[in-house]
């Protein structure tokens, strides 16, 4: 599938600019095994890059103008790279403008270039198409102009670009897009940005995504609200226990003792954060031991917390997880990514994948009159140059 995307993007570039592109960059979306809404809460996450990508073709054009074309939307953009960027009404352009803004902010000097891109990462499915866009664009510019930006700094700049667009996200998406490795999940300590790779070996189970096929319109405002609620929870903890500056150093008992000092929402958001931080550590140990059943149980617990305490689920996602719970051949399931739509991630017994996909698709359509979309997952490399 990616071979076709790469060929089409290259051909499009040749037809548009008359040259063979100088650089082809592939930038992946991501899944997350466990550790949701915890990257901005000082926790650990366990994501991986996948084989769904944005493909970019680039060349320098000896001017001050970036000429960019989004093949899938058939829309073009011209930017004077010497000028400061401002937010535009055309949403997709902001992720790229955000990257150029960050480059300028950090004092990097670049010239004009030609660029076309096309993607097979579904948008709004919680697979981080925007991080792939930011990271691939930055990676290409870094290579073309020899800026020598280190990978983790690229991830951080991608995150800042996303903040510039208006989502106060954590580091997980950009980090996984840049640092992904084939067949490895990455355990990221979001406090220190230390990371370790672990085998993406789920023994007798396959990872399957069920895409609820819903547009998550509440996403931006509610996402930013959750961050604010968690900051409030943490500041109340800190007022009462000045030595505690992180949910990581807190426990349930201590939090329950402070319940009366918090609003119910702030308490439940904080409780989720404290529990999720612990779950990721347990989940990673279980994965390393090949104890996929325990990993699955923890995924179900995460969903329960995301749905009831963190309140970022929706009827359709809860329905999909409930279906999974009732199915002997699905041993773990939860909403993945920011929530309010997008996918569930599921551990499905090998050999039962088709049966489960068919059953869930039929029931989901009967119940909601919406087509369920299913994806198999292949854990793949992070953003890289394509060499043919
Ligand atoms: C979005 C954000 C991430 C992370 C997830 C939820 O994908 O971009 O930083 O917070 O939601 O885990």
Q: Are strands 75-80 and 205-211 parallel, antiparallel or unpaired?
A: unpaired
CATH number of the domain residue 36 falls in: 3.30.230.10
Q: Do 161 and 225 fall within a single domain?
A: no
Catalytic positions, written as ranges: 173
Computed over its alpha carbons, how large is the radius of gyration of the chain? 21
* Structural domain of 239: 205-376
Residues 55 and 81 in one domain: yes
* Structure-token pair, residue 225: 């609200």
Angle at 327 between CA 322 and CA 333, to 5 degrees: 50
Whole-number pLDDT of residue 221: 85
Are 187 and 299 members of one domain?
no
Look up residue 203 and give its two tokens. 């023994």
Q: Is 187 in the pocket of ligand 1 (CB under 6 A)?
A: no
Domain count, the chain: 2
pLDDT of residue 95: 97
The Å distance, Cα 172 to ligand 1 centre, comes to 6
Measured from the CA of 162, which atom of ligand 1 is nearest?
8
Give 37 Cα–ligand 1 centroid separation in angstroms.
Answer: 6
Task: Assess whether 194 and 123 both reside in one domain.
Answer: yes
Structure tokens that stand for 363 in this block: 């029931």
Q: Which residues, including other chains, have CB under 8 Å from residue 347's CB and lie 6 or more apart? A: 202, 205, 206, 207, 292, 295, 296, 299, 330, 331, 332, 333
Q: Which of 132, 129, 145, 48 is nearest to 378 (CA)?
A: 48
Q: Is the CB of 337 under 6 A from ligand 1?
A: yes
The answer to whether the CB of 173 is under 6 A from ligand 1 is yes
DSSP 379: B
142 and 169 co-located in one domain? yes
State whether 88 and 142 are in the same domain: yes
pLDDT along the chain (388 residues), means of 10: 95 98 98 98 98 98 98 97 95 97 97 98 93 98 98 98 96 98 98 98 98 81 95 98 97 97 98 98 98 98 98 97 98 96 97 98 98 97 94
**Does ligand 1 come within 6 angstroms of the Cβ of 234?**
no
Cβ pair 230, 269 in contact under 8 A: yes
Give residue 18 CA to ligand 1 midpoint distance, Å: 39
Give the other-Cβ count within 10 Å of 40's Cβ. Answer: 19
* Residues in CB range of 362: below 8 A, 6 or more apart: none
Question: Residue 15's pLDDT is what?
Answer: 98
CA of 101 to the centre of ligand 1 (A): 22
This prediction has a pTM of 0.97
341 alpha carbon to ligand 1 midpoint, in Å?
13
Residue 295 tokens, joined? 């990993």
DSSP assignment of 306-351 equals: IIIIS----HHHHHHHHHHHT-TTEEEEEE-SS-SSSEEEEEEETT
CATH of residue 267's domain is 3.30.70.890
CA distance 94 to 85: 9
Q: Are residues 107 and 216 in the same domain?
A: no
Of 220, 110, 207, 120, whose CA–CA distance to 165 is shortest?
220
**69 and 186 share one domain:** yes
CA-nearest residue, atom 1 of ligand 1: 338
Within this chain, do residues 210 and 260 fall inside the same structural domain, yes or no? yes
- Whole-Å CA distances, 235 to 21, 247, 270, 344: 51, 10, 11, 32
The CA distance from 169 to 348, in Å, is 30
pLDDT of residue 218: 67
Give the nearest ligand 1 atom to 338 CA.
11
DSSP character for 369? S
Tell me the CA–centroid distance for residue 167 and ligand 1, in Å: 9
Residue closest by Cα to atom 11 of ligand 1 = 338
115 and 235, same domain (yes or no) = no
Ligand 1 neighbourhood includes 276 CB (under 6 angstroms): no
Query: In a 10 Å sphere around its CB, with 0-12 CB exposed, 13-18 middle and 19+ buried, how is residue 96 labelled?
Result: buried
Cα distances (Å, whole numbers) of residue 2 to 6, 19, 26:
6, 22, 9
- In Å, the largest CA–CA distance within the chain is 68
Q: Give the burial class of 221: count Cβ atoms within 10 A of its Cβ; 0-12 exposed, 13-18 middle, 19 or more buried.
A: exposed
Whether residues 10 and 60 share a domain: the answer is yes
Nearest atom in ligand 1 to the alpha carbon of residue 32 is: 12
> Quick check: CB of 377 below 6 Å from ligand 1?
no
361 and 312 in one domain? yes
């Amino acid at each position: 599938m990616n071979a076709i995307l790469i060929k089409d993007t290259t051909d499009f570039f040749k037809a548009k600019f008359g040259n063979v592109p100088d650089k082809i960059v592939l930038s992946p979306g991501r899944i997350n095994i466990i550790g949701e809404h915890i990257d901005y809460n000082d926790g650990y996450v366990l994501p991986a890059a996948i084989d769904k990508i944005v493909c970019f073709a680039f060349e320098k054009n000896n001017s001050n103008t970036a000429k960019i074309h989004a093949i899938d939307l058939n829309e073009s953009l011209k930017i004077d790279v010497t000028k400061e960027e401002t937010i535009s009404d055309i949403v997709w352009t902001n992720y790229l403008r955000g990257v150029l803004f960050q480059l300028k902010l950090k004092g990097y000097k670049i010239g004009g270039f030609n660029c076309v891109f096309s993607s097979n990462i579904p948008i709004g499915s919680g697979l981080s198409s925007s991080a792939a866009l930011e990271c691939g664009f930055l990676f290409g510019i870094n290579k073309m102009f020899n800026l020598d930006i280190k990978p983790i700094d690229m991830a951080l700049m991608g995150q800042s670009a996303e903040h510039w667009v208006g989502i106060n996200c954590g580091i997980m998406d950009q980090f996984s897009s840049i640092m992904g490795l084939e067949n490895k999940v990455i355990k990221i300590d979001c406090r220190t940005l230390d990371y370790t790779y672990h085998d993406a070996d789920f023994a007798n189970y396959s990872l399957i995504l069920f895409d609820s096929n819903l547009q998550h319109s509440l996403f931006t405002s509610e996402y930013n609200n959750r961050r604010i609620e968690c900051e409030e929870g943490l500041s109340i903890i800190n007022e009462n226990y000045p030595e505690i500056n992180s949910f990581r150093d807190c426990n349930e008992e201590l939090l329950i003792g402070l319940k009366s000092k918090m609003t119910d929402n702030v308490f439940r958001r904080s409780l989720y954060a404290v529990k999720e931080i612990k779950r990721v550590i347990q989940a990673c140990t279980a994965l390393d031991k090949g104890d996929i059943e325990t990993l699955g149980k923890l995924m179900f617990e995460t969903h329960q917390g995301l749905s009831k305490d963190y309140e970022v689920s929706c009827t359709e996602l809860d329905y999909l997880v409930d279906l999974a719970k009732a199915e002997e051949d699905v041993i773990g399931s939860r909403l993945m990514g920011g929530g309010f739509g997008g996918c569930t991630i599921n551990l499905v017994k090998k050999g039962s994948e088709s049966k489960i996909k068919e059953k869930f698709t039929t029931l989901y359509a009967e119940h909601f009159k919406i087509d369920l979309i299913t994806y198999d997952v292949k854990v793949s490399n992070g953003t890289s140059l394509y060499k043919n």
